[in-house]
Amino acid sequence: MAQRLGKLLGRNSRAAGRFRMHIKTDLRGGAQLEWSKREDWRDWARLSEGCCLLRSNVTDWSGEELWRAYMQLTEAEAAFRIHKNDLAPRPVWGHLECRVQAHILVCFLTYVLWKTFARWCQDAGFGDEPRKIFAELGQIALVDVVLPTRTGASIRKRCVSRPTEYQAILLQRLGLELLTCIERTDL
């Protein structure tokens, strides 16, 4: 009964504060739930509705400094979500300290690139959320054509598909230019 009550309260945490609950057991192994409404809860709910409350053990910071630190934390968490979800690198299983540090460096550089691209989007008038632009520009195909020659060398030609009209506008507004073909001879 206690586990079920805990799950119920966990799913309804805001409303859970409205009630006092206690489970009473008897000598035969039975249980009974006793509950009552908390009258002080309604006043608290009215005062706190739509507000964010931060609790901290740091006493020498102002409210603004505490809020800024909290926002940095949320940005760091967002950076890890971007790295894992949007950029989807393969998993890294670093057991050595140097590999773990290298992975952290890659995560940091990925975040810097993401924020840089977000700034480009903002400067181009697209807002500061580049997910949709990444998805659209990700549709541009890249093809490597390798042609062997009689001498044994091969000619490698990398071709990029022609962007759609919408993609061309995005590229132009971002100040980016596609190289349509790159030719290289491997000897």
Same domain, 122 and 87: yes
| Number of domains the chain contains | 3
Residue 27 in any domain: the answer is yes
Report yes or no on 53 lying in a domain.
no
The pLDDT value recorded for residue 184 is 56
Per-residue pLDDT of the chain (187 residues; tens, 9 = 90+): 777 777 877 787 767 778 888 888 877 878 888 888 888 887 877 777 777 777 889 889 998 999 888 888 887 787 777 777 766 666 666 678 888 888 778 878 877 888 888 888 888 888 877 888 888 888 888 888 888 888 888 888 888 888 889 888 888 888 888 876 555 555 4
In a domain, 57, yes or no: no
* Domain finish residue from 127, 152, 176: 127
Nearest to 45 by CA among 15, 4, 78, 74: 15
Same domain? For 119 and 78 the reply is yes
Q: Name the domain boundary from 79, 104, 127.
A: 127
| Domain membership flag for residue 56 | no
The domain boundary, picked from 89, 108, 127, lies at 127
Distance of CA 64 to the CA centre of its chain: 25
**Whether the Cβ atoms of residue 107 and residue 84 lie closer than 8 Å to each other:** no
Domain range enclosing 142: 138-186
- Residue 186's pLDDT is what? 53
Q: Do residues 143 and 176 both lie within one domain?
A: yes
Residue 186 three-state SS: strand
0.75 exceeded by the pTM?
no
The pLDDT value recorded for residue 90 is: 64
Q: In this structure, is residue 37 part of a structural domain? A: yes
